[in-house]
Amino acid sequence: CLYLNIWTPITTQKQQQQQPLAVMVWIYGGGFTSGSSSLRVYDGSILASTQNVIVVSMEY
């Protein structure tokens, strides 16, 4: 199964019409033995809101 976590910055309609946002995809390590993208350390909400990017992490 593949689950995606997606965080986006809060934007106004005017901001949405200006230019597209960069997308950062985070794939955590662990070699299929440990780790999880749902750990709090991998929460992309602060990065998305302060750097004006879309953050995507995946659970595989």
Q: What is the pLDDT of residue 55?
A: 94
Domains of the chain by residue range: 3-59
User: Rounded to the nearest 5°, which phi and psi values hold at 53?
Assistant: -130, 165
CA–CA gap between residue 60 and residue 52 (Å, rounded): 26
Q: What is the pLDDT of residues 20-59, one digit of tens each?
A: 889 999 887 777 677 677 777 778 998 999 998 999 988 8
* Dist. CA 10–CA 34, nearest whole Å: 32
What is the rounded distance in angstroms from the CA atom of residue 60 to the CA atom of residue 37?
9
For tokens 């750097």, the residue is 51
SS3 55: strand
The pLDDT value recorded for residue 59 is 80
Question: What's the predicted TM-score (pTM) here?
Answer: 0.75
Residue type at 55? V
